[in-house]
Amino acid sequence: MLLIYSSTESWDALSGDERRALGSSHADLVRQLRKSGEYVSGGGLADESLTSTVRVRDDGIEATDGPFVEAKEHLAGYYVVDVPDREAAVAIAARIPDARRVAVEVRPISTQM
């Protein structure tokens, strides 16, 4: 899984044209990954201000607004790819336009659930 991180500051710094170009870059990458057979799924996430964090404590449910950890960056989207190894995943992560602005995390999906 390729986890795309962003920040309010980096997003706010983009012009409308830059935001559209970013979206087009994602669309192009998805087309390329589908064509190569590496694309499984992906998507963008809503603004972090709409996030709720849920904890169960003492048999009670606690839901708070916002992400669990206060951080400058937030999870903004993801791609799930099917590739043979870490190096291939890193190569695709480097093609995600957000890697130039904040970061993309490469993390294997566990089959142990």
Domains parsed from the chain with CATH numbers: 2-106 (3.30.70.1060)
- pLDDT for residue 28: 96
Q: What is the pLDDT of residues 26-47, one digit of tens each?
A: 999 999 999 999 999 999 888 7
Statement: the pTM of the whole predicted model exceeds 0.85: no
Residue 96, phi-psi category: left (phi > 0), alpha (psi -120 to 50), beta (remainder): beta
Beta strand pairing call for 52-57 and 103-106: unpaired
